[in-house]
């Protein structure tokens, strides 16, 4: 319990003045942002939004994985999202991972080798972003006309640069 005391205490403070009970699960801006789990990224602040405005979906590297597709299908088809922004960033850990070293570290710590885990590493950032945009654009479970854009976020300047935009077809 002591390992999570800060979470319990923080939640008590938050809940004591909870102002968001009226929010809908449908995002006001009809936007889903797929981004990295990197703690330096705050998509609400980056794009000037507030809680309730957008869906925020995260994983290591902001990659469009099967599970991310599952979440986007729900977001678009059930919760009125009609725009998807995929935001990669510079200085990303998914581009720096030494896969053999990671596997060895996991094996040493757990006794299990994650050889069958697809880490969706990033070799070339632009190519990875373009592949992720294409994975969404060509998804047969998203309605034709859903807007898709790719951004590169600079963690040193706070600038998110639009790389490409397209539509599901």
Residue 97: pLDDT band by 50, 70, 90 thresholds? confident
Given this model, what pLDDT does residue 19 score? 84
Given this model, what pLDDT does residue 52 score? 97
For domain 27-167, give the CATH number: 3.40.1050.10
What do you get for the CA distance between the two ends of the chain, in Å?
A: 49
Average pLDDT of span 113-128: 93
* pLDDT of 1 over the 90 cut: no
User: Element (H or E) spanning 32, and its range?
Assistant: strand 31-36
In whole numbers, what is the pLDDT of the chain averaged over residues? Answer: 95
Strand order from edge to edge, sheet including 147-153: 54-59, 31-36, 83-89, 147-153, 160-167
Q: Rounded to the nearest 5°, which phi and psi values hold at 84?
A: -130, 125
5-39: per-residue pLDDT in tens?
999 999 999 999 998 889 999 999 999 999 999 99
Given this model, what pLDDT does residue 48 score? 98
Average pLDDT of span 87-94: 94
Given this model, what pLDDT does residue 169 score? 87
Report domain extents, the chain: 27-167
- Highest mean pLDDT: which range of 11-25, 85-99, 138-152: 138-152
Given this model, what pLDDT does residue 115 score? 93
């Amino acid at each position: 319990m002591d390992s999570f005391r800060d979470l319990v205490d923080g939640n008590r403070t938050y809940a004591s003045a909870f102002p968001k009970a009226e929010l809908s699960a449908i995002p006001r801006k009809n936007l889903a942002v797929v981004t990295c789990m990197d703690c330096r990224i705050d998509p609400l602040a980056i794009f000037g939004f507030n809680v309730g405005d957008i869906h925020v979906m995260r994983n290591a590297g902001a990659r469009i994985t099967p599970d991310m597709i599952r979440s986007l299908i729900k977001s678009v088809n059930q919760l009125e999202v009609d725009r998807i922004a995929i935001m990669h960033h510079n200085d990303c850990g998914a581009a720096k991972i030494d896969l053999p070293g990671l596997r060895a570290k996991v094996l040493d710590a757990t006794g299990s080798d994650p050889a069958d885990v697809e880490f969706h590493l990033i070799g070339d950032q632009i190519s990875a972003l373009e592949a992720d945009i294409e994975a969404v654009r060509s998804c047969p479970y998203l309605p034709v006309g859903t807007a898709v854009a790719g951004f590169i976020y600079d963690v040193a300047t706070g600038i998110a640069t639009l790389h490409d935009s397209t539509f599901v077809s």
